[in-house]
Amino acid sequence: MLKLDINLLWTVVNVLVMYAVLRKFLFKPVQDVIAKRQQMVDANLADAETSKKEAAETMNAAQEKLRNVDNEAAARREAYEKQAEVEKQQLLADARKQADAIVAAGKASAEAERQSKLREADAQTTALARAMCEKLLARNLTAQGVTLLEGRGTCLGEGRVQVKTADGEHEIQGTDIILSCGSRNAVFPGLAPDGDCVLDSTGLLELDEIPESLIVVGAGAIGLELGHFFGSQGSKVTIVEAAPHVAPLEDTDIADELRKILTKSGKTCLEGVRAQALVTKDGRAELTLADGRVLTAAKALVAVGRTPNSDGLGCEAAGCPLNRRGYVQTDEYLQAAPHVHAIGDINGRVLLAHAVEHQAHYVARRLLGQEDGPYVPGPVPSCYYGLEIMRVGDTAAALLARGKSVSVSQVPLSLNPIAQAGGLTGGFVKAVWDGDRLAGMAAIGHGVSHLVTVAQLLVMQGATPDNLHRIMFAHPTLDEIIPAAIAAKRTPVSA
């Protein structure tokens, strides 16, 4: 038992020694190897982890770079698309402009052709209408026993006239001669129409287009009427008048009202300033005023009065005296020389169409022995149209110049129901009194030209507030403003 135990103990000791030896010489190196390998594995794992991280970072960087590339590509693509769209729209706009220009050019060409044809048709229609009127007039004259010669006539002496026609010269004789040759636009030094930008009334009316601006030199009937017309068509109008006010033949109250109307409608009025020179310069009309101012416009109208067509008429041979302005001087019978009468514009009395007709009737009756008294025109009616002015008889200024006792009675046009209904109530109607005698009437405002004959008859009949009851004026009419003006309170007028 003891021996067994010693053997067992020895065996255990041997095992332990062997284990120690093995552990020292076998297990330890193996453990070291295993430890080293474990370290290597750990190191490799760490390296792998590091590489993995680096790979992940590289991947992330690559992905970021790819995203940046994608974003940059997208931005470039968007910019390109925008630029392409801009260029596309520009190309479309250019194409539209070109198409519009082609269409506009086509329309302009078509419109120009249309306007040309219209002007041609208008000219043909006007020429045809004029020819028809001339033929009708010639036929009527021939039917009444009148011989018509179309040409230029010249007085050769008592009862003798030479007429130059298209088929030669003809000399005719008669007991009496009537001169009725009318007048033409007056021309003054420095203000002569040149047919370019400086025009007379005939040249202005022959324009194919409305000028964008217009200077009117002279604020009489022709200047005011044409200025109003072209202003209503879009021209910027400037009116220049050397006299103290526009419409110099009218009273100042009429002129003041007219100036308000002109200014309100956009026209410029320069009064009391003389036009010194008017020329075409650089394709425009250039007006130099006496005060040094210079005005320019697309066109200019010279409307500074009329001059008689007496030159070349042979007035001296017929014994007819001319005044310094070339008008044929006549006596109270409209006679310029024995058996020679002058009527209308050529005698310079009243330059109105109805005046020559009235004078013609008088001379015809005188030559037929139906009239032996002097010519009495009565209260002469006159009208401006467009901006309407009516006058019959004397102005207050004319009566004052003759030393008369003058007063005026006046009512605004706004009192009239017809003016109220049309909403055109600007202006007034007035009566001019020489003492207690109705010497004239005048009015300014829409439609007042229609009052002229009523006013003329009342002036001729010597109407007063006390005898107006004899006439029944219809209501509502524009006419009923006339008796209101006559019956209104009178205001004395002094020079």
Residues belonging to the active site: 475
C-alpha–C-alpha distance, residues 429 and 448, integer Å: 8
Q: Give the C-alpha distances (Å, rounded to integers) separating 188 from 244, 264, 303.
A: 20, 31, 11
| Alpha-carbon radius of gyration of the chain | 53
C-alpha–C-alpha distance, residues 210 and 231, integer Å: 9
CB 240 within 8 A of CB 273: yes
Concatenating the DSSP letter of every residue in 421-439 gives HHT---EEEEEEEETTEEE
Residues 6+ apart with CB under 8 A from 363: 178, 334, 341, 343
Concatenating the DSSP letter of every residue in 238-259 gives EEEESSSSSSTTS-HHHHHHHH
In DSSP terms, 445 is beta-bridged to 427
Residues 6+ apart with CB under 8 A from 182: 308, 309, 344, 345, 346, 356
Tell me phi and psi for residue 193, to 5 degrees.
-60, 140
